């Protein structure tokens, strides 16, 4: 549960998202970790077809690590045909090419396609097969497209929960607006230009006093280099105040108007 923000509201199970359909999963632990992966990215519609160890499964609940909203809402089926009923578009996950003529998507393309299905008020689902064998051809025949992960061809097998996590992430990412890079300021803010200029003038004044910015003809380029260096740092208001304190501390033993002895 590390990293969970308990101040946030529980995910609304009515929010649209693809159904995750596990066909004949073998281990309760894998069902639980798949449920946990789903909820990490806002998915709650978990459908299970013929789980080997039956249902409910306490090992699945324990492995879900608090994703109870998914475990409690599991729908159980005897046939894959019944599990996909009500869906408008189904993508089957597979690690190997099948002798069928179907579109083959990468994870990101599959997620974008499902987003379009939901944008048109349809419903989509993802089929995952048993851990050891993957989906049977009869199950894949029910799907509209295949999804293959571009992994190392010499070691292409993914754990069930890993595959569910990958597709849940791609689904979430396809609709996410989080900036690719950002800084979160805690009790501070980016430094304003006047604050930076005040620091520059403070630093340069002391460097002049201590004879660093010499000879005079090189001073302009040295000042530009120093300013560019600190501009690239993206300093905060707190950091500027700290730097000014550092400069003041280093020069405090010499009164204003005086420099160090030659």
pLDDT at 163 over 60: yes
In a domain, 119, yes or no: yes
User: Do residues 159 and 197 share a domain?
Assistant: no
In a domain, 187, yes or no: no
Question: pLDDT band at residue 229, thresholds of 50, 70 and 90?
Answer: very high
Number of Cα atoms under 13 Å in the Cβ half of residue 57: 25
**pLDDT above 70 covers what percent of the chain?**
92
Using the 3D structure, point to which of 145, 174, 203 is the last residue of a domain: 174
One-character DSSP codes across 92-145: EE-SS--SS---EE-HHHHHHHHHHHHHTT--EEEEE--TTT---HHHHTT-SE
Q: What is the average pLDDT value for the chain, to the nearest integer?
A: 90
pLDDT at 237 over 90: yes
For position 237, which CATH number holds?
1.10.8
Q: What is the pLDDT of residues 7-31, one digit of tens each?
A: 555 555 556 899 999 999 999 999 9
Q: What is the pLDDT of residues 78-134, one digit of tens each?
A: 999 999 999 999 999 987 777 788 999 999 999 999 999 999 999 999 999 998 888
For position 129, which CATH number holds?
3.40.1280.10
**pLDDT above 90 covers what percent of the chain?**
75
Residues in the chain: 262
One-character DSSP codes across 73-89: T-EEES-HHHHTTT-SE
177-186 average pLDDT score:
81
The residue range of the domain holding 216 is: 193-251
**Claim: this prediction has a pTM higher than 0.75:** no
Judged by average pLDDT, the poorest of 92-106, 133-147, 236-250 is 92-106
pLDDT at 160 over 60: yes
User: Do residues 134 and 198 share a domain?
Assistant: no
Name the CA radius of gyration of the chain, rounded: 29
pLDDT at 1 over 50: no
Position 161 scores a pLDDT of 94
């Amino acid at each position: 549960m590390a990293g969970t923000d308990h101040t946030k509201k529980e995910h609304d199970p009515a929010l649209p998202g693809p159904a995750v359909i596990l066909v004949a999963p073998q281990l309760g632990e894998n069902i639980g970790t798949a449920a946990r992966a789903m909820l990490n990215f806002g998915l709650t519609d978990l459908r299970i077809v013929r789980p080997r160890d039956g249902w409910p499964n306490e090992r699945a609940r324990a492995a879900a690590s608090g994703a109870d909203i998914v475990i409690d809402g599991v729908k159980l089926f005897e046939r894959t045909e019944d599990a996909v009923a009500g869906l408008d578009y189904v993508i089957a996950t597979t690690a190997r090419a099948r002798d069928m003529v179907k579109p083959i998507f990468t994870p990101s393309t599959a997620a974008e396609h499902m987003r379009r299905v939901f944008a048109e008020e349809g419903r989509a689902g993802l089929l995952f097969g048993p851990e050891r064998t993957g989906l049977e051809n009869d199950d894949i025949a029910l799907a509209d497209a295949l999804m293959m992960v571009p992994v190392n061809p010499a070691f292409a097998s993914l754990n069930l929960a890993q595959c569910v996590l990958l597709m849940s992430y791609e689904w979430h990412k396809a609709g996410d607006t989080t900036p690719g890079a950002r800084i979160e300021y805690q009790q501070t803010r980016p430094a304003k230009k006047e604050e930076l200029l005040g620091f520059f003038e403070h630093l340069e004044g002391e460097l002049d006093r201590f004879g660093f910015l010499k000879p005079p003809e090189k001073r302009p380029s040295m000042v530009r280099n120093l300013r560019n260096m600190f501009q690239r740092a993206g300093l905060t208001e707190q950091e500027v105040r700290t730097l000014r304190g550092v400069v003041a501390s280093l020069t405090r033993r010499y009164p204003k108007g005086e420099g160090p002895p030659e």
